């Protein structure tokens, strides 16, 4: 929700509504790089393009940067619906179609990284390469996320909205989630991160996308799709990620070593290395992009 200096907000219309995105102000940068680099945030209470805002400015001199808020998150429209994986796969494709006509490199995280894999399988002509952090469908290899206690709890009517308003979309709820589920080291969380997540979580109708995620409505078995991937791909895993461990990531990568060219593990890092260790993440993303060509 917070826009880095030198960047501005724009938007496009998708089949599910307006999608806001952030790109460099070329009056400041004075040059329009020929290659596009897209950053896609993950899903979770308060998620938005802010998740990548400490990383993407480092690439603005060499790439045309596009960092959207996915539908249902951040400053994008929040239609009242039960969101599915197909909604995001479709609107990611629509976003890429409307913002350019050349294949792009995509950097994406967690469940959205899994959406990017499926989008690249459906429309490979849109993708040049993929750099993915902790990619997972959260129900990989038959481990159904919807069977977890929390997912079952949020399926209870009224309880789901109460839980969102009292335990998720609050400063304490956001900070607790970041500390317990997203960061390996809580001391790396600072007030700006909590503020940005809270602003996104409190947008009108923000609970629809968030609760769909928590219920597991967007989850799927990524292992079923990995053998179909043809886009050159690199994976970055935080060893301490709470949702899906690195061992699952290694199994996913091994399903298609022709496409998955590089895998790197970061010790003492959780789900979002782009927020926890942005400097190191910048260096690794840059290296992967160069290796993938």
Tokens of 248: 């699952």
Position 2 in a domain: no
Neighbours of 141 (CB within 10 A): 13
Residue 197 backbone phi and psi in degrees, to 5: -65, -40
pLDDT digits 0-9 by tens, 111-143 = 999 999 999 999 999 999 999 999 999 999 988
Tokens of 69: 């808020």
Dihedral (Cα; 238, 241, 246, 251), 10-degree rounding: -120
What three-state secondary structure class fits 25? coil
Of 278, 254, 121, 60, the residue nearest 190 (C-alpha): 278
Q: Evaluate whether 36 touches 6 at the Cβ level (below 8 Å).
A: no
Q: DSSP state, 146?
A: G
Give the pLDDT of residue 278: 97
Position 19 in a domain: yes
pLDDT digits 0-9 by tens, 73-118 = 999 999 999 999 999 999 999 999 999 989 999 999 999 999 999 9
Of 243, 199, 238, the residue nearest 69 (C-alpha): 199
What integer best gives the mean pLDDT of the chain? 93
Residue located via tokens 């993303």: 285
Position 1 in a domain: no
Strands (E), 147-257: 233-238
Q: Evaluate whether 85 touches 210 at the Cβ level (below 8 Å).
A: no
Checking if the pLDDT of 144 tops 90, the result is: no
Position 60 in a domain: yes
Of 244, 194, 203, 198, the residue nearest 223 (C-alpha): 244
**CATH number of the structural domain spanning residue 209:** 3.40.50.1820
pTM beyond 0.75: yes
Q: DSSP state, 240?
A: T
Give the pLDDT of residue 146: 67
Full residue range of the structural domain in which residue 102 is found: 7-292
Tokens of 149: 């206690």
Of 33, 80, 85, the residue nearest 60 (C-alpha): 33
CA atoms within 13 A on the CB side of 38: 27
Position 151 in a domain: yes
- Number of domains composing the chain: 1
Confidence band of 258 (pLDDT split at 50, 70, 90): very high
Over the Cα atoms of the chain, what is R_g? Answer: 18
Residue 127 backbone phi and psi in degrees, to 5: -120, 135
Alpha carbons 111 and 278: distance in angstroms, whole number: 20
Q: DSSP state, 152?
A: H
93-107, 151-165, 222-236, 262-276: range with lowest mean pLDDT: 151-165
The contacts of residue 105 (CB under 8 Å, 6+ apart) are 35, 36, 37, 38, 63, 127, 128, 129, 130, 131, 289, 292
């Amino acid at each position: 929700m917070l826009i880095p200096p030198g960047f501005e907000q724009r938007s496009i219309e998708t089949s599910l509504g307006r999608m806001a995105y952030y790109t460099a102000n070329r009056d400041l940068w004075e040059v329009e790089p020929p290659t596009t680099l897209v950053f896609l945030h993950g899903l979770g209470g308060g998620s938005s393009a802010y998740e990548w805002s400490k990383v993407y400015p480092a690439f603005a001199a060499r790439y045309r940067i596009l960092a959207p808020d996915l539908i249902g998150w951040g400053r994008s429209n929040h239609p009242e619906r039960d969101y599915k994986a197909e909604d995001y796969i479709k609107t990611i494709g629509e976003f890429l179609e409307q913002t350019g006509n050349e294949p792009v490199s995509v950097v994406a995280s967690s469940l959205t990284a899994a959406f990017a894999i499926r989008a690249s399988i459906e429309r490979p002509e849109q993708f040049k390469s993929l750099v993915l952090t902790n990619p997972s469908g959260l129900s990989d290899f038959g481990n159904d996320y919807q069977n977890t206690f929390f997912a079952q709890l949020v399926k209870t009517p009224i309880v789901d909205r109460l839980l969102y308003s009292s335990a998720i979309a609050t400063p304490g709820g956001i900070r607790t989630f970041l500390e317990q589920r997203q960061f390996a080291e809580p001391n790396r969380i600072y007030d700006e991160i909590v503020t940005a997540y809270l602003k996104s979580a409190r947008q009108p109708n923000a609970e629809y996308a968030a609760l769909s995620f928590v219920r597991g409505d967007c989850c799927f078995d990524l292992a079923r799709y990995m053998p179909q991937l043809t886009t050159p791909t690199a994976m970055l895993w935080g060893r301490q990620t709470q949702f899906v461990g690195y061992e699952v990531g290694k199994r996913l990568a091994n399903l298609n070593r022709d496409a998955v060219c590089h895998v790197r593990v970061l010790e003492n890092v959780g789900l979002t290395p782009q927020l926890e260790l942005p400097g190191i993440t910048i260096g690794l993303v840059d290296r992967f992009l160069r290796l993938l060509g």
